[in-house]
Amino acid sequence: MAPQLRLQFKVAIVTGGASGFAAASPPNLSDDAGDAAAAELKCDFVRADVTRRADWEALLRTAIDRFGGLDIVVNNAGMTYANKPTETVTEQDFDLVMSVNVKSVWLSTDVLLPYFLEKRRPGCFIQIASTAGVRPRPNLTWYNASKAAVINATKVRAENGASPKPPTVIKAEGA
């Protein structure tokens, strides 16, 4: 029996594939790491900062121009800080985990969801979170919170749909 190729001819944006969990190496935003991962996976590498709206817009343009559209978004990029007591977490540590882990998911939705809705094109958003979002790890308070935020936002979007319709209000004359 031939394997089903359910993803054949699908176009996906996968963030964070050159570092971290995806590549089993420390976070590294180098072009060399991205090119190496792309070569191994036989896909294209496009350097982008997931915390910047303009980069998400450029990723969408690239998917459309180079591949004719977009089908799947995998929000895999993630960051943490060294395991340490909450009172020693810096504002820079906090901003980094919240921007990469939470803001990037929001930006992907804010930039890409209108494309799927306007084109009436089915699409799939996949968020990679962590067990830390449901079973917090000691001394990683804000990392845990960022992953819990991703899990919660994903659940709400799945339960309510990407674009919930407002309630219909019917006003009867003379009532």
Query: Which residues are designated catalytic?
Result: 143
Torsion sign, CA atoms 5, 109, 115, 155:
positive
Sheet holding 72-75: strands in order across?
12-14, 72-75, 124-127
Q: Which helix (H) or strand (E) holds 37?
A: helix 31-41
- At 14 the three-state DSSP class reads strand
Q: Which residue has the tokens 């992907």?
A: 108
- At 74 the three-state DSSP class reads strand
β strands within 32-127, DSSP E: 72-75, 124-127
